[in-house]
């Protein structure tokens, strides 16, 4: 679920929502996984980015605090407030997906009272921070009145619910798109099948009208099958094509010519008298292309050509 959650969630959408909240309140916000990794974040306080997260020891305290915060949460607990190991206040709510706790919605890096400067000055000395710059960064940490805390915790709870619902919607959309892709592929496989009907002979029985997309797919599969099976003979059957116009006729001719280029002779089958008449009226000739009225006749011709080729090779001692 964890990997699926991080891969499926539209992080950019939630990033924008967090940025709007953080800009309005001055409070940092994030989505944090259960290992303490920040998936998206906004309005990180400089005291955290330039000091707490850069020093190895205080960074470790940050990660430990995130994990402690995560462990205090569960699917049965709506939110938690916590003073991190570096002295700032954080709040978080669990993101629950189908009963599983997968991540946390986080807001924090604020204080609920004016800071004890002596305490933070001593903290700066302990970890080797520039005290003047550290206290300057401390001035930008927002102070939230305790009476406002319910509003903040309510936001983080609602945000967690929005993230969960958004994830489920996106997952359904992706699953539907994947299923549609499978069905589309199945339809394409049925619409442009290429089969090996005999040793050295492949056939492409076409059904339905031809368009550019189908023609491209036909070309790819027809040539691919010829090359893969090393077939010197191929049947292109248009019995199931209800109507032939200039464009579709050109698709067939292009497929025949392309097959010739990879060393296969093509027999065009399913050419009924009406289709032949249509081709003549359209001024499209099939000169040099072997045609037969039915697939069975075409296969008989292919087998005959194959036997003749074998006889020639035998006579030449090959």
- Write down the pLDDT at residue 4: 66
* pLDDT digit string, tens, across residues 49-72: 999 999 999 999 988 887 787 778
Q: Is residue 187 in some structural domain?
A: no
Task: Decide: 40 and 17 in contact? Cβ < 8 Å.
Answer: no
When pLDDT is averaged across residues 204-211 and rounded to a whole number, the result is: 86
One domain, residues 148 and 231: no
Q: Is 240 helix (H, G, I), strand (E, B) or coil?
A: strand
Q: Is residue 183 in some structural domain?
A: no
Q: What's the order of all strands across the beta sheet hosting 100-110?
A: 38-42, 28-33, 100-110, 89-97, 80-83
Beta bridge partners of 236: 204, 268
Of the three residues 147, 177, 207, the one that is the final residue of a domain is: 177
- Write down the pLDDT at residue 246: 84
The answer on pLDDT for 30 being more than 70 is yes
Q: Is 142 helix (H, G, I), strand (E, B) or coil?
A: coil
One domain, residues 149 and 6: yes
Q: Is residue 36 in some structural domain?
A: yes
Domain CATH for 172: 3.30.450
Q: Mind giving me the DSSP string for 281-304? A: HTT---TT-EEESSHHHHHHHHHH
Q: Is 89 helix (H, G, I), strand (E, B) or coil?
A: strand
One domain, residues 50 and 166: yes
Task: Give the residue ranges of DSSP H helices in 230-316.
Answer: 246-261, 273-281, 295-315
Of the three residues 115, 144, 177, the one that is the final residue of a domain is: 177
Question: Mean of the per-residue pLDDT values for the chain?
Answer: 87
Q: Is residue 188 in some structural domain?
A: no
One domain, residues 80 and 218: no
- Write down the pLDDT at residue 265: 95
Q: Residue 116 sits in which domain range? A: 2-177
One domain, residues 120 and 200: no
Task: Decide: 31 and 106 in contact? Cβ < 8 Å.
Answer: yes
One domain, residues 172 and 204: no
259/227 Cα distance (integer angstroms): 9
* pLDDT digit string, tens, across residues 266-294: 999 998 888 888 888 877 777 788 999 99
* Confidence tier at 317 by pLDDT (50, 70, 90): low
56/316 Cα distance (integer angstroms): 82
One domain, residues 164 and 246: no
One domain, residues 79 and 173: yes
Q: Mind giving me the DSSP string for 17-67? A: HHHHHHHHH--EEEEEETTS-EEEEE---HIIIIIITTSHHHHHHHHHHHH
One domain, residues 173 and 203: no
- Write down the pLDDT at residue 34: 79
Q: Is residue 32 in some structural domain?
A: yes
Q: Is 192 helix (H, G, I), strand (E, B) or coil?
A: coil
Query: What number of other Cβ atoms are within 10 A of residue 123's Cβ?
Result: 19
- Write down the pLDDT at residue 72: 82
**Total domains, the chain:** 2
What is the sign, positive or negative, of the torsion defined by CA atoms of 104, 110, 113, 115? positive
Residue at token pair 């430990």 = 64
One domain, residues 163 and 73: yes
The answer on pLDDT for 218 being more than 70 is yes
Distance of CA 46 to the CA centre of its chain: 35
Q: Is residue 306 in some structural domain?
A: yes
Domain CATH for 217: 3.30.750.24
Task: Give the residue ranges of DSSP H helices in 84-130.
Answer: 117-126
One domain, residues 158 and 264: no
| Tokens at 219, concatenated | 């070309």
Task: Give 143's DSSP letter.
Answer: B
The answer on pLDDT for 173 being more than 90 is no
Q: Is 263 helix (H, G, I), strand (E, B) or coil?
A: coil
* Least confident segment among 29-33, 53-57, 240-244, 259-263: 240-244
The answer on pLDDT for 5 being more than 90 is no
State the pTM of this model.
0.57
30/108 Cα distance (integer angstroms): 9
The answer on pLDDT for 2 being more than 60 is no
Q: Is residue 182 in some structural domain?
A: no
- Write down the pLDDT at residue 264: 95
Q: Is residue 224 in some structural domain?
A: yes
Task: Look at 79 and 129; give whichever has higher pLDDT.
Answer: 129
One domain, residues 67 and 166: yes
């Amino acid at each position: 679920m964890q990997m699926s959650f991080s891969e499926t969630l539209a992080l950019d959408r939630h990033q924008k929502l967090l940025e709007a909240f953080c800009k309005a309140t001055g409070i940092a916000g994030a989505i944090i996984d259960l290992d303490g990794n920040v998936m998206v974040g906004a309005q990180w306080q400089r005291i955290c980015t330039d000091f707490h997260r850069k020093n190895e020891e205080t960074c470790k305290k940050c990660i430990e605090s995130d994990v402690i915060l995560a462990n205090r949460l569960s699917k049965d607990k709506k939110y938690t407030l916590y003073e991190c190991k570096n002295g700032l206040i954080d709040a978080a709510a669990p993101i629950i997906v189908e009963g599983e706790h997968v991540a946390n919605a986080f807001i924090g890096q604020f204080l609920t009272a004016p800071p004890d400067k002596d305490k933070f000055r001593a903290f700066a000395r302990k970890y080797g921070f520039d005290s003047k710059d550290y206290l300057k960064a401390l001035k930008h940490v927002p102070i939230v009145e305790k009476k406002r805390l319910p509003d903040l915790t309510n936001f983080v709870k609602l945000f967690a619910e929005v993230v969960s619902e958004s994830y489920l919607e996106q997952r359904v959309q992706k699953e539907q798109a994947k299923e549609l892709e499978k069905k589309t592929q199945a339809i394409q496989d049925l619409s442009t099948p290429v089969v090996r009907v005999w040793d050295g002979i492949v056939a492409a029985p076409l059904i339905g009208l031809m368009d550019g997309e189908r023609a491209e797919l036909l070309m790819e599969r027809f040539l691919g099958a010829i090359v893969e099976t090393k077939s010197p003979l191929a049947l292109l059957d248009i019995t199931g094509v209800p109507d032939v116009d200039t464009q579709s006729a050109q698709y067939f001719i292009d497929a025949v010519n392309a097959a010739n280029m990879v060393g296969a002779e093509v027999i065009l089958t399913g050419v009924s008298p009406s289709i032949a008449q249509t081709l003549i009226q359209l001024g499209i000739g099939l000169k040099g292309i072997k045609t037969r009225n039915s697939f069975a006749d075409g296969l008989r011709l292919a087998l005959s050509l194959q036997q003749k080729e074998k006889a020639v090779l035998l006579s030449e001692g090959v």
